[in-house]
């Protein structure tokens, strides 16, 4: 019986030692691979950011609309005279003349 007990004890010690060593090796490998994976992710993110910066077109802004040039005063007077003549000839009604006059005067 003492030989059997000694064999079981030795098996337990060997199995425990193997388990501890295996766990330690596994942790080291996990740490090494985690560091490597983190480095790979960082490199890919940096490359992606550079690629996106290179592809992004610069912002474009619509050109400002040119301001309309004010009509010379002479043209407005000439236009009012033309409208008055059209009204006098009966081509325009008084309401149409008034609307066009208001439009010209602003």
Residue 38 lies in a domain: yes
Per-residue model confidence (pLDDT) at position 51: 84
Q: For residues 32 and 2, what is the distance between their CA atoms, to the nearest angstrom?
A: 45
Tell me, yes or no, whether 65 lies in a domain: no
| CA–CA dist 21, 29 (Å, integer) | 12
> Are 79 and 46 members of one domain?
no
Per-residue pLDDT tens over the stretch 16-69: 776 766 778 788 888 888 888 888 888 999 988 888 887 767 677 777 777 776
CA distance 76 to 100: 11
Range of the domain at 26: 1-57
What does the pLDDT read at residue 91? 87
Number of domains in the chain: 2
Shared domain for 50 and 82, answered yes or no, is no
Same domain, 41 and 87: no
Same-domain pairing of 53 and 77: no
pLDDT band at 72 (very low <50, low <70, confident <90, very high): low
- pLDDT value at position 88? 92
- What is the structure's pLDDT at 83? 87
- The span from the first CA to the last CA of the chain, in angstroms, equals 120
């Amino acid at each position: 019986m003492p030989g059997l007990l000694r064999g079981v004890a030795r098996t337990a010690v060997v199995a425990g030692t193997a388990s501890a060593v295996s766990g330690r090796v596994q942790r080291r490998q996990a740490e090494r691979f985690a560091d490597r994976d983190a480095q790979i992710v960082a490199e890919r993110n940096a490359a992606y950011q550079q690629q996106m910066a290179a592809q992004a077109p610069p912002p474009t802004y619509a050109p400002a609309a040119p301001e309309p040039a004010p009509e010379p005063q002479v043209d407005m007077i000439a236009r009012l005279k033309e409208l008055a003549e059209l009204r006098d000839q009966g081509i325009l009604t008084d309401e149409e003349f008034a609307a066009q006059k208001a439009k010209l005067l602003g």
